[in-house]
Structure 1
Amino acid sequence: MSTERERVVVGVDGSPGAAEALAWALRYASNSGATVTALIAWAHPTYYGLGAPILEEDVDEQAEQRLSKAVTDAVNQLGVDVDVQQRVARGLPARALLDAAADADLLVVGSRGHGGFTGALLGSVSQHCVHHAPCPVVVVRERSE
């Protein structure tokens, strides 16, 4: 029997769906003793012609702050004691999540993040992860009020 702890990767992007996914992953880890890797990813926007230059360090810092706030808020709201590693990745979110999940036991994503069509069953990132992940995937739907 392996003594290694189970590892859960969860996508965070600041959307309500991602907040639900993070809460689900934290509750799961609290109950199972797993560790959590909370990941936020960003990619350069595609421009046709000239575009405004983007300072990558500024975007990294903003992403770090958004991720840290999301994790802190969720941990405080749930009152859980979970080992959470926070990672900022440069690149397309689906690819970054799949790369992070390469040696994970579980990948957790929201059903829709920023972008996409409201009311869609799955967003493009969650759908891509479901089809290509190297581990089981949990897709968490946003709670309806």
Structure 2
Amino acid sequence: MSSHPKESGHIVVGVDGSASSKEALRWAVRQAELTGCRVDAVIAWEYPPLYGSIGWVDAPQEIAGSIKLAAARALDDAIQEVAKTGDVSPVHAAVAYGTAAAVLLEAARDASLLVVGSRGHGGFSGALLGSVSQHCTQHAPCPVVVVRGRGR
């Protein structure tokens, strides 16, 4: 038996830079303060599909590096905006390659909770849930909280 105190768990939150994802991050930080959990803020990125003379091709590496850097910057900006210095629960940033839903489900494998916004970038603005939040609620290995934006 380990003599180290057991960690209370961790909360995974999906962030894409949208207002909805920032609300989800705010909610996750408040929940972590109440429960003693840590927060893992996760952003996903993937190559844009390109069509060439031979069909679908992978994007050049220089584009991939730029996309990953832009994703990391969006995540850092969201964390700086939402999480105040000195918060009880620090926010750990993670940038991962893949579709948003797949990356979040993988990150949530051993999480206490998965938190997502109801609407991210893209999609239909009138829909109640986005495709990522809907997929996560149906397939997550842990409880899921979907945070709706302010003013709704």
Fold match by TM threshold 0.5: yes
Q: Aligned residue for 1:117? A: 124
Q: For 1:54 and 1:106, how far apart are their aligned partners in 2? A: 34
CA-atom RMSD, angstroms? Answer: 1.9
Task: Give ranges in structure 2 of 5+ residues lacking alignment.
Answer: none
Amino acid corresponding to residue 72 of structure 2 in structure 1: E
Task: Note closer, same or farther for the CA distance 1:102–1:30 as it changes in structure 2 (3 Å cut).
Answer: same
How far apart are residue 54 of structure 1 and its match? 5.4
Write the distance in 1 (CA, Å) between the matches of 2:16 and 2:61: 19
Task: Give me the identity figure in percent.
Answer: 52
Structure 2 CA distance for aligned equivalents of residues 12 and 112 of structure 1: 11
Q: Matches of 1:5 and 1:91 in 2, distance apart?
A: 28
Secondary structure at the aligned position of 1:102 is classed as coil
Give the TM-score taking structure 2 as reference length. 0.86
Partner of 1:92 in structure 2? Answer: 99
How far has the Cα of 1:119 moved from its partner? 1.6
Q: Superposition pairs for residues 122-141 of structure 1, below 5 Å?
A: 122-141=129-148
Q: Does structure 2 retain, via aligned residues, the 8 Å contact 1:27–1:80?
A: no
Equivalences for residues 65-104 of structure 1 within 5 A:
65-76=73-84, 80-104=87-111
SS in structure 1 at match of 2:89? coil
Partners of 1:86 and 1:48 in 2: CA distance: 32
Displacement of 1:93 in angstroms is 0.3
CA distance in 1, matches of 2:125, 2:52: 30
Whether 2:115 is the aligned partner of 1:108: answer yes
In structure 2, the residue matched to 1:9 is 12
Q: Deviations over 1:114-136 (max 9, x none)?
A: 01100201000000000000000
Partner of 1:28: 31
Q: 1:28 to 1:92 in 2, by over 3 A?
A: same
Between Structure 1 and Structure 2, whose CA radius of gyration is higher? 2
Deviation of the 1:49 alpha carbon: 2.8
Moved over 4 A (4+): none
Partners of 1:125 and 1:40 lie apart in 2 by: 12
2:83/2:91 contact within 8 Å kept: no
Which digits, 9 at most, give the CA deviation of each residue in 1:78-105, with x for residues without a partner? x733122100011100000000000101
Match of 1:39 in 2: 42
Within 2, Cα distance between the matches of 1:133 and 1:139?
A: 12
**Contact 2:8/2:35 (CA < 8 Å) preserved in 1?**
no
Shift of 1:12: 0.3
